[in-house]
């Protein structure tokens, strides 16, 4: 074999060896990026079309004349959902049925809920979006007869109207359980009766949620006959309650962030003012 042939053969062997050594590196590059792509695809997606159960309770939740769902809690939920990038559909039922449907995951959330250990078994709770409290309502112009706190008012012999099965908080419960004051609490099957009993002097005052009382006093046209005392009785925080079975915890976090946002930009207070004036 000539020298030139040997040289040419050596060059060809060198080139073939170089090509083969680079090939594995080129093939490995795509396989390194595949795990990252696969992990993104497997990340759970957040479904944010929510079914909200509601039970009529004016002014928090009710049907307006055009058959749309309205009310203080409804407006707050809509504002939060809008900020959180969610759609909300409304399903009406009674409260006990709604809790059952929530536990099964057939509906996604309800409003106006208190936290209990039993509910924690099947529900996630938002940060409190309002406080539940009660005010004492009296006949207009009789404020001087109600000096002091609830204890002093009861000690003066005043009769207080309440609604059967309402939970007014620990302070009121303790007075109701005290034989010294128990008979001063006058039960009414429905809250509407308390307004009548007050104006008929059957009771001296009644306890009611301020938003509910404001709504009813306006609706009944008795604004000049009944007024609230400054005394407020806090009974607990109110939350949105989400089904563990149907709602991702990140949705709850987004609602909490939305709540902080609407409180900061003033839209939350604007909703409250609309129902308290």
Confidence of residue 70 (pLDDT cuts 50, 70, 90): very high
User: Quick one: 98 and 228 in the same domain?
Assistant: no
| Residue 108 placed within a domain | yes
209 CA to centre of own chain: 17
What lies within 8 Å, CB to CB, of 209 at 6+ separation is 132, 133, 134, 135
User: Quick one: 189 and 75 in the same domain?
Assistant: no
The percentage of the chain sitting over the pLDDT mark of 90, rounded to a whole number, equals 71
Rounded Cα distance between 198 and 192, Å, is 11
| Residue 16 placed within a domain | no
Rounded Cα distance between 91 and 212, Å, is 22
pLDDT for 126 beyond 60: yes
User: Quick one: 206 and 156 in the same domain?
Assistant: yes
Model confidence pLDDT, tens digit, residues 6-63: 333 443 444 444 444 444 443 333 333 333 333 333 334 456 899 999 999 899 999 9
Measured from the Cβ of residue 72, the count of other Cβ atoms closer than 10 Å reads 24
Instruction: Write the CATH number for 57.
Output: 3.40.190.10
**Which residues are registered as beta bridge partners of 135?**
208, 232
The percentage of the chain sitting over the pLDDT mark of 70, rounded to a whole number, equals 83
| Residue 270 placed within a domain | yes
User: Quick one: 185 and 255 in the same domain?
Assistant: no
Confidence at residue 44, expressed as pLDDT on a 0 to 100 scale: 40
| Residue 6 placed within a domain | no
User: Quick one: 184 and 226 in the same domain?
Assistant: yes
Compute the average pLDDT of residues 132-154: 94
Domain count, the chain: 2
| Residue 193 placed within a domain | yes
Model confidence pLDDT, tens digit, residues 209-232: 999 999 999 999 999 999 999 898
User: Quick one: 146 and 225 in the same domain?
Assistant: yes
Rounded Cα distance between 61 and 112, Å, is 10
Map tokens 């996630």 to a residue.
Answer: 124
Rounded Cα distance between 207 and 212, Å, is 11
pLDDT for 194 beyond 90: yes
User: Quick one: 113 and 157 in the same domain?
Assistant: no
Compute the average pLDDT of residues 236-263: 96
Map tokens 């004016």 to a residue.
Answer: 58
Confidence of residue 203 (pLDDT cuts 50, 70, 90): very high
Rounded Cα distance between 261 and 182, Å, is 44
User: Quick one: 80 and 215 in the same domain?
Assistant: no
| Residue 42 placed within a domain | no
| Residue 53 placed within a domain | yes
User: Exposure pattern of 140-153 as b/e (b: 16+ CB <10 Å)?
Assistant: eeeeeebeeebeeb
User: Quick one: 176 and 140 in the same domain?
Assistant: yes
User: Quick one: 142 and 224 in the same domain?
Assistant: yes
| Residue 56 placed within a domain | yes
User: Quick one: 256 and 124 in the same domain?
Assistant: yes
Confidence at residue 32, expressed as pLDDT on a 0 to 100 scale: 39
Domain of residue 122, residue span: 49-131+237-276
Confidence at residue 14, expressed as pLDDT on a 0 to 100 scale: 43
User: Quick one: 118 and 246 in the same domain?
Assistant: yes
Which of 97, 101, 120, 109 lies closest to 47 in space, CA to CA? Answer: 109
Rounded Cα distance between 142 and 221, Å, is 19
* The three-state (H, E, C) secondary structure of 53-76, written as one string: EECCECCCEEECCCCCEECHHHHH
Do the Cβ atoms of 261 and 83 come closer than 8 Å? yes
């Amino acid at each position: 074999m000539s020298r030139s042939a040997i040289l040419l053969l050596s060059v060809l062997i060198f080139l073939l060896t170089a090509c083969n050594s680079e090939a594995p590196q080129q093939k490995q590059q795509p396989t390194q990026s595949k795990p990252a792509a696969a992990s993104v695809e497997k990340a759970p997606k957040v479904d944010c079309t929510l079914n909200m159960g509601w039970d009529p309770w004016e002014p928090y939740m009710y049907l307006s004349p055009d058959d749309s769902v309205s009310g203080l809690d409804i407006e707050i939920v809509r504002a939060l959902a809008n900020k959180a990038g969610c759609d909300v559909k409304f399903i009406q039922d009674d409260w006990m049925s709604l809790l059952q449907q929530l536990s099964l995951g057939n509906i996604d959330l309800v409003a106006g809920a208190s936290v209990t250990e039993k509910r924690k078994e099947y529900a996630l709770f938002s940060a409190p979006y309002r406080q539940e409290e009660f005010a004492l309502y009296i006949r207009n112009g009789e404020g001087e007869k109600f000096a002091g706190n609830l204890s002093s008012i009861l000690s003066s012999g005043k009769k207080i109207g309440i609604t059967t099965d309402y939970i007014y908080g620990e302070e009121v419960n303790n007075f109701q359980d005290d034989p010294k004051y128990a008979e001063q609490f006058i039960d009414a099957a429905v809250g509407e009766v308390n307004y009548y009993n007050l104006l008929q002097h059957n009771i001296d005052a009644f306890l009611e949620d301020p938003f509910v009382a404001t709504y009813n006093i306006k609706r009944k046209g008795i604004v000049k006959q009944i007024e609230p005392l400054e005394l407020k009785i806090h009974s607990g925080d109110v939350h949105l309650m989400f089904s563990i079975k149907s709602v991702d915890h990140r949705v709850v976090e987004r609602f909490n962030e939305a709540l902080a946002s609407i409180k900061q930009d003033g839209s939350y207070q604007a909703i409250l003012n609309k129902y308290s004036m």
